[in-house]
Structure formats: C-alpha cells, structure tokens
Amino acid sequence: MTIHKEGYTSIAVAAIIFGVINLLSFYFFSFGQPVVTWIIFILTLGLFFFIISFFRIPKRQLTIQDNAIVAPADGKVVAIEEVQADEYFTDRRIQVSIFMSPLNVHVNRNPVSGEVSYSQYHKGKYLVAWHPKSSTENERHTVVYRKEGKEILVKQIAGALAKRIINYLQAGQQVKQTDEMGFIKFGSRVDLLLPLDAKILAKIGDKPQGGVTVIATW
C-alpha cells in the first residue's frame, strides 16, 4: 500500500494538529487526570490513522480488457437506470451510480482506454451524494471518453463532506484504462452514462473495486 500524492498536505496538517492536541493534553491533564490524557490520545490517534487510510492506494491486479468498462471508483452501486442525458449527450443512456463512503479508496480511474473528448468542471452545491439531484446540482467534473466511435461519460460528484474534486484529464488527451483520472476528498459519488446497448454486469448493492471490477461490456 502507498499514499496518494493528494494526501501529503492533509496528512501533514493532521499530524501537526495531533501533536499540538496531545502536547496540550499532556501538559494540562497528565498529572491530575491521566485517564483523560489517554482518552484524548486514543481518539486523536484513531482519527489520524483514518486520515492516512483515506489516501491509501492498495496494491491490486488491475483489469485491462479491450471490451470492458471497469469501475472508475470503489464503493457501492446504488443506481442502475435508463435516464435522459443532461450534459454532452442528448440521447437516453444507462446510468450506473457508485456511492463512495469515507471508508472507501478514493482514487478514480479511467474505465476504458481512448481519447478524452470532453472534460468540464462545474461549481455547485454539496447535497448528500445519494440525493437524486446531486448529479445535476452538486459540484462535479464530467469526462467523456471516446473509443472506436463509441462514447461513455463519467461524472465525479462531490458529496456533503467532499469539498474538493480533482481531475487530471484534458480534452484531446489519450488515456489508458485503469490509469488515474482523479481523486475526490472525503465521501462522494461517481456516475457512468453508458450506451443503451452496453451489457451491464453490475447489480444494485454490488461493491466494485476501482480499476478491477468490470461494470459492463460493449
């Protein structure tokens, strides 16, 4: 396991806060109320390790498969439905939504290889990620991939806790399947809009692994 580069600053700040809190706790409580000192230490240590774990990149055997659309994120599949596209596309598409809790790995990966034909950031609200309007009203970044004349859309959506969406892709860029596309900090959601003729392999309640689990084929 390694630590993602987006976590370096957050972990450094968390380490400073951890140190300051426990120095103050030791100074004020260690002699008269040592139990309080230990409680504070254990709680802050647990929070510090949580911050570190949030930015983890576990070692995995990533899936490289020409006709596969792999999961762009870890999480839980919360929606599979036919929808009217509201950005870039004008037709109907199959939407697969993956909810990412703060406990999930938050690296986002390219679901396919190909050309980035569209990459656009949108400011917005911070509704809870499972809210029906989060995909259209929350802060989000939309990417469209084109491969052999077919296109799919991936939308990174901020949640109530996520305050920063990071995306590394630009229109016209050639990308490889499972390479990093971005990162979302502290809870979020990722939507995929797939062609109607795509064969969906995922089911509601599935817990895919980003870059590993095949969501659909085309």
| Domain range list for the chain | 2-57, 68-217
Sheet with 214-217, side-by-side order of all strands: 68-70, 214-217, 199-200
Lowest mean pLDDT segment, chosen from 32-36, 68-72, 107-111, 174-178: 32-36
Q: Is the pLDDT score of 142 beyond 90?
A: yes
- Cross-strand bridge partners of residue 57: 2
| Average pLDDT across the chain, whole number | 89
Residue 161's pLDDT band (cuts 50, 70, 90): low
Q: Which CATH architecture has domain 68-217?
A: Distorted Sandwich (2.70)
| Nearest residue to 178 via CA among 60, 55, 70, 68 | 70
Which one of the listed residues 25, 119, 135, 188 is annotated catalytic?
Answer: 188
Average pLDDT score over residue span 88-113: 93
Give the pLDDT score at 180: 95
Is the distance from CB of 2 to CB of 57 less than 8 angstroms? Answer: yes
Is residue 188 part of the annotated active site? The answer reads yes
Average pLDDT score over residue span 29-53: 90
Predicted model pTM: 0.84
| Nearest residue to 107 via CA among 216, 3, 214 | 3
User: How many residues does this entry show for the chain?
Assistant: 218
Distance (Å, whole) CA 208 – CA 218: 18
Distance (Å, whole) CA 107 – CA 124: 21
Residue 162's pLDDT band (cuts 50, 70, 90): low
Q: What is the SS3 assignment for 107?
A: strand
Reading the block at residue 91, the tokens are 């037709």
Q: Torsions phi, psi of 60, nearest 5?
A: -140, 155
State the Cα angle at 185 between 184 and 191, rounded to 5°.
30
Between 39 and 28, where is the model more confident? 39
Reading the block at residue 10, the tokens are 């957050």
Is the distance from CB of 187 to CB of 164 less than 8 angstroms? Answer: no
Give the pLDDT score at 130: 52
Between 130 and 143, where is the model more confident? 143
Q: Is the pLDDT score of 72 beyond 80?
A: yes
Give the pLDDT score at 215: 97
- Using CA atoms, how far residue 152 sits from 87, 106, 148, in Å, is 12, 21, 11
